Structure 1
């Protein structure tokens, strides 16, 4: 279900050129994609409220809703207001009048939320010059654009420009395109098969930014993500064989640089994506590069050559050591999987199983080191045998039995070959097998987390700003630690 609004013909504030055409183009595209579209063009306040009511009346619990607004908007006192065509230019100090005669964005979002819609995507192209910038010598609202918002849960809101930025209708006097810069970048992305919403928005932001920079203007669409799970406007065609979900070019380049594993490869990646330092993938790549510098500094120089030892063995690289380590773990029954030289979740689990089943003095951080490999090569037989079951009396009930995850935990995560993150999380029992928590880590990130415990099996979702991480793990028998791996490739060990 979709509601598409486009207002050009304002009676007392500046008329717009492309808002109506933008709405019509978006509506046509959504019709092609199978949406039921409610269209509202050049609507006064009464007509706009009527169209919104018609739209929300059609929404049913579990529906996916889409709202598009192109027209004038203004931010007053931290709230964003969408202006109908009959909005009057108020006298100085008339902020309250503007509020009463327009549509508060938060009210619109709330009206959609109350229908029980499963998810809502809201696109607002109202980041133009403030139509009330000067009214009898005073400004009503911010100078230009809209302000930041707090989106309700289940909602993904996109603004055509960032806070305080101006959205361009055209690039120059010779630009005769029917649609605004933002809408012309958005339209083709809506019908691209298999493009998840967050990947779509990342591409949209880059495209609009690059177009605006051609005329020395700064416009980067802003978004506010409170949606749970993935959203697709167009599902990917069913392949003959299962194929991985599409990922961004940045993510693809990072995986290539990480698999090569050399400082030069990572330097090339970091240089290519200069300007995107606030993104998670860039942070991981930077820490990986710094980790390689640390490892290189710790490598002892080779012993000098002497005539008695003309053939000095070459010190193997870290990937070679990891491949040999995986092979050695497989030999003793610890099931490390493929010998690909990558310390993935299965390899780390196999090494942890070896540490638990042997009398080794090694630690988890020794995985991939030469001395750990040497110890593994000296072992024989099946070390990682399943522990035999032994009869025992049931443990006495304790206050923690009803909520074994509740309380404070520390964790250590390995998120790439040498990138390590530490942090804390506190879980609160939310009834049944559900827990809520608050997480903070050494990268300065904070997240809300939702966890379910079924026996010893744990599944969770961490909601970081701009990224949602899903993970699965297992609680130790004593309830004092657990291990997990997630959608970002991080392997986690938590304890208390």
Structure 2
């Protein structure tokens, strides 16, 4: 009841008519990927887009960092609510991939090991759009899922050369089909087949522009998307141009505001004056605006502190508020992180997180609680040189794994587990992308010094080899001169000695 009241107040604020049309949206942001590169923005993108749509009178089914099961459940709930809606919206931010012209949205637990994985680990855009076509007047799809996706490259390699060409970069163009409604709008963060940018802020460039313009009063969705395209094109220095395909029988407004009627009063000067709106209407709108600003302030305070106590305070005040789902998700993530942190609540002396700070805070949320597996490590695509670098960094971090040889045997796995334990991470012996980033950060200074020393030794070895070569050439010339003079042959023992010296130098250089 409280949630419906807020929706009504939001529409009053927007100046819409009292008769409310049914509006439903599915908003999903996936960034905490377990088996591929995590994305920093989708959770923020989804949170802010859900709040914006709720303020516009939409009933929103929202989810962040969803597994395959979570996404299927969200789509099912959305499908039930969307039946008979005036407007149904899908907004998705996260990894996506196209195979044979079909677009797949990727849950956070997907591995995508082969083509079979596509049917059982991803959800197609076509499937969701079918749920939006059931007696829905206007369908809108916004896909901020055109990022560079390592899972697509892995799938392409495993499909072989004959079929790998069916895996494309970015997303594939979606054809608009006649559904008997008033039309559709489909928008991508960038052109089909291109890769979009994540941006440097809390939101991607596309979502930033969409949030900015989608609630512009009395602007049609066609006008909104023109402005979004312009903002993204300029913000990315003309490297990214959103793609929009619209087929509407008329203008569609998400924030239509009625203009208060004016009363023209004749005067001697033939001028006209407008009668201001009724005081009662102004008072209602003002009270609604104050209530919304109060809720938003409490939410921003809780989000800024990022503590369970403050998120719970928001829920106590607004148990069905616009941000209630996100507050509960945040409490769940923080509680999970605290459990992991309790394994080793403080960092060992000399680390970046020493002096009693929780070590778990050195990993980006929500990656802090995700354990490494053989799959998460394989997804990073390390070659032998990369594995040597990891072993070197583990040694530099104080966890002896022996001579870096690029082979992760029992000693290396034990070193990885020891490093994870020291940093308050579940000790599995396998890395995630976030854990590797943490190790890289911790050993940045030591590794730079190590590389400098390696380069110095290599240069010294090269100079030594050059000197030895010159000496050998001189000795050969001398022997030839002696032979021409009737001198004796080369002493075998001396030749063996010189060969041993040269071999030792070369072997030492390789082993350093």
Question: Counting helix residues as a fraction of each chain, which structure ranks higher?
Answer: 2
Could you tell me the TM-score, scaled by structure 1's length?
0.44
**Which one scores higher on RCO, CA 8 angstroms, separation ≥ 6?**
2
Question: Counting strand residues as a fraction of each chain, which structure ranks higher?
Answer: 1
Could you tell me the TM-score, scaled by structure 2's length?
0.43
